[in-house]
Structure 1
Amino acid sequence: MRKAILIVLTCVFYLSTHAQVSYEEIPSERLNSVRKLKIKLPQGYDPESEIKYPVIVVFDADYLFEPVAGQVDFQTYFDDMPSSIVVGIMQGGEREYDSHYEALTGLPMDSGLRFHEFISNELLPYIDKKYNTSKFRVAVGHDIMGSFINSYLFQEKPLFQAYVSISPDFVGSLRNFVSKRLAVIEEDIFYYMATSEKDIPEIRENILSTNALINEVENQNITYYFDDFEGETHYTLVTGAIARSFDKIFEIYNPLREKELEEKVFNYEGTLDNYLIDRYKRIEKLFGITKEISEVELEKVAKVAEQREDYKSLNKLGKLANKLFPETMLGTYYIAHSAEMLGKIKKAKKLYESALVLNDATNIDKDYIAAKIEELTLALVVDVDDEELEDLEELEEEENEEN
């Protein structure tokens, strides 16, 4: 059943992607020609809005654009990656000229260098000027263009922040240069590379040796992922590699999942409000976009705070919730619950009572708060009765001693 649903969704995303694609032409002085582009904007894109979008540049868009655009639609639907602008470069018969390289280094030369400069000096400035783009750019290439995109790593400031190199046909000494360059880059870079069991033997051998070299790189600025797909060929690995690469590149953008809660949140040293705040600051820093903390994620982290009996974190999460959702009772509830767990019953009761004038939260309503107030009222009565009983027992003991 689940497989059938995924197939239907894939078809829907393919059809919607096809319907939303626009075709543009850009004149190039560097190439002395006009190049055709395929461009897909995010659903609901508003040129007057201040919302910024990452840009995904697809080389060999003649066959690679639809798989990339479809995957972007699929993952943004589930909020697994930010909405993005997908730009495909139609290369067609120009592919050989675009990828022309120097035999020794494997880096672009002559017509290849002109194409390289067309991307950096003409295409991306054109896209940035016309659309609401963020600073985060992804390059996607396959085969010889999977090798070509590595040339942008060698700029003083790399043009792309993420590289999806699918079964790259490394030429010359480029595979050695890539690992050496990744070792010294001072900016945050995501680098993904993939091959497959039935890949072209020579290409596969070069990729495996390159992977071994990159694995030796110790640079905290580099986030590296590698896949070796079983049973796939040089061409059939493409769709799986696109899905895996986007899942990895945008992993931190994903909603909080059980693995992160167990491995990172639960073991976090410090109050858990700081974990959430730092997480979203990193998203903004990496992708140049703002993503708001949701009520659902606050609730997940609050549960972790309870599990580790960290009521200081619960109190601070309540204060954070009050800033983010001042109209709802979520923040006041966490602060009250924290006081209750620390034995401050009177304070907790007053806080619960103050929450009744606020709007319901996702999973907390006025009925639940009213039940908490009733529970604490009874607890306070019991506490008073216990105190009176203790006083009476002390008086009786004193009288017995006198007699």
Structure 2
Amino acid sequence: MKKSILLIMACCLTISGYTQAIYESFRSIKLDQSRELKIQLPRNYKKNVDKTYPVILVLDGDYLFEPVAGNVDYFSYWEDMPESIVVGINQRKTRTDDCRYDLAEYLPDQKGAQFFEFIGQELMPYLDQTYRTAQLKIIVGHDFTANFINYFLFKDNPIFQGFICLSPEFAPPMKERIANVLSSATDVWYYTATATNDADNIKKDAIAFNEQMEALEENPDMHFFFDNFDESSHYTLVGRGIPRALEGIFEMYRPISKKTYKEVLLPLETSTYDYLVDMYKTTEKLYGIKRQIRVNDFIAVSTAIEKNEKWEELEPLGKLAIKEHPDVMLGHYYLGMFYEQTGEPKKAMRAYENGFQLAEIAFLTKDYMLDKVNKIKDDFGW
């Protein structure tokens, strides 16, 4: 619990210190009224003119926007998720009408239907036209709005791929409808949470829904996450659920961990180099974002290669590192290691010399590269 509180405090400090919300009034034809928006752009949005960003749409923006935006800024700072555009819709006076559904089909009705069309037909197209948005879109809601966001899941081509449902107050047939859709969904992330001190009806439905999902046949193209937080309430679970949801959704985006290194890379019988390449191809497919391979991921993979003496994999790894990070020593070091271990000392020495001229990085320094060159010269009397 203390860790969660510290994380929330850190997020609040992060957002107040380094980012600033943009406040916009959006005139909706569907609603025949203006809606107040809060928008947080990534830190270097103006500088990275060629970069696109996922969009996280937050309902109940009056109180949910800040904790979501703070967590997004914090997680993306540490590269645990991509930098993202966070947009909140203020609903303090309108949330009951916005989430209205009929009591026959339990589908959006009256103002609820208009609000649904406002998001899908007006707001999201506006954001795509105004900002550099990526393919991935996530939507967040709490109790009434957590139920409402599921209506977007039922469209043939959902505009959202991620759903964060915090303490959802489900409409009567909603659990069955969601389970039916998720059983065959592709590239969808769905998170829901309740807590021991949540409202009894909400907690009961959330637990029953999780049991329904566990009983379904496994769908590898759908990612479902559920939490029942101990000693949290209907409101305090929000502070714990948001980071948990982001961790789950962006699990494949995070750097290679010590656990992955020990449990996956070291015992891997197939190509460790291919694992790295496939990992980034997978995240590009999942999140619609092409990104530079991290230096730390190169180091994790190369360490596993060296431990397992798969020396032939250092050559393609070195060439890839030069392509991804041409201004640093890394790729030339891997090529030098490859040539050294495969009996070509002259090529190894040349590779280390080429790396010596470039910028230092991680454990690689000019002195280290020079030592590698001098050792080869000493060994062969050159």
Same fold by TM (over 0.5)?
A: yes
Contact kept? 1:197, 1:233, Cα under 8 Å = yes
Write the distance in 1 (CA, Å) between the matches of 2:120 and 2:74.
Answer: 28
RMSD (Å) for aligned C-alpha atoms: 2.4
Return 5+ residue gaps in structure 2 as ranges: none
Cα distance 1:11–1:287, how it changes in 2: closer, same or farther (>3 A)? same
Which residue is equivalent to 1:283? 283
* DSSP-derived class of the 1:57 partner: strand
Which residue is equivalent to 2:238? 238
Which residue is equivalent to 1:223? 223
Which residue is equivalent to 2:51? 51
1:77 maps to amino acid: Y
After TM superposition, the structure 1 = structure 2 runs for residues 383-402 of structure 1, keeping only pairs within 5 Å, are: none
Contact kept? 2:106, 2:173, Cα under 8 Å = yes
Cα distance, 1:309 vs structure 2: 1.6
Which residue is equivalent to 1:195? 194
Contact kept? 1:47, 1:131, Cα under 8 Å = no
Contact kept? 2:12, 2:70, Cα under 8 Å = no
Cα distance, 1:199 vs structure 2: 1.1
Which residue is equivalent to 2:257? 257
Which residue is equivalent to 1:379? 379
Larger displacement relative to structure 2 (355-364 or 251-260): 355-364
Cα distance, 1:6 vs structure 2: 5.6
Cα distance 1:90–1:329, how it changes in 2: closer, same or farther (>3 A)? closer
Contact kept? 2:11, 2:73, Cα under 8 Å = no
Write the distance in 1 (CA, Å) between the matches of 2:79 and 2:122.
Answer: 32
Which residue is equivalent to 1:392? none
Which residue is equivalent to 1:399? none
Percent of paired sites with the same residue: 38
Cα distance 1:280–1:227, how it changes in 2: closer, same or farther (>3 A)? same
Cα distance 1:28–1:305, how it changes in 2: closer, same or farther (>3 A)? same
Which residue is equivalent to 1:400? none
Contact kept? 1:105, 1:172, Cα under 8 Å = no
2:287 maps to amino acid: F
Write the distance in 2 (CA, Å) between the matches of 1:80 and 1:354.
Answer: 33
After TM superposition, the structure 1 = structure 2 runs for residues 301-316 of structure 1, keeping only pairs within 5 Å, are: 301-316=301-316
Cα distance 1:210–1:375, how it changes in 2: closer, same or farther (>3 A)? same
Q: How many residues align?
A: 379
2:200 maps to amino acid: P
1:145 maps to amino acid: T
2:278 maps to amino acid: D
Contact kept? 1:302, 1:314, Cα under 8 Å = yes
* DSSP-derived class of the 1:68 partner: helix
Write the distance in 1 (CA, Å) between the matches of 2:137 and 2:355.
Answer: 45
Cα distance, 1:262 vs structure 2: 2.3
Which residue is equivalent to 1:25? 25
Cα distance 1:75–1:171, how it changes in 2: closer, same or farther (>3 A)? same
Which residue is equivalent to 1:168? 168
Cα distance, 1:123 vs structure 2: 0.9
Write the distance in 1 (CA, Å) between the matches of 2:194 and 2:104.
Answer: 23
Cα distance, 1:354 vs structure 2: 4.7
Which residue is equivalent to 1:204? 203
1:236 maps to amino acid: T
Residue 107 (structure 2) pairs with residue 133 (structure 1): no
In the superposition, the TM-score normalised over structure 1's length comes to 0.87
Which residue is equivalent to 1:338? 338
Cα distance 1:331–1:13, how it changes in 2: closer, same or farther (>3 A)? closer
Which residue is equivalent to 1:398? none
Larger displacement relative to structure 2 (361-370 or 133-142): 361-370
Q: Which digits, 9 at most, give the CA deviation of each residue in 1:42-92, with x for residues without a partner? A: 223229812111111111111111111111122122222111111111112
Larger Rg: 1
In the superposition, the TM-score normalised over structure 2's length comes to 0.91
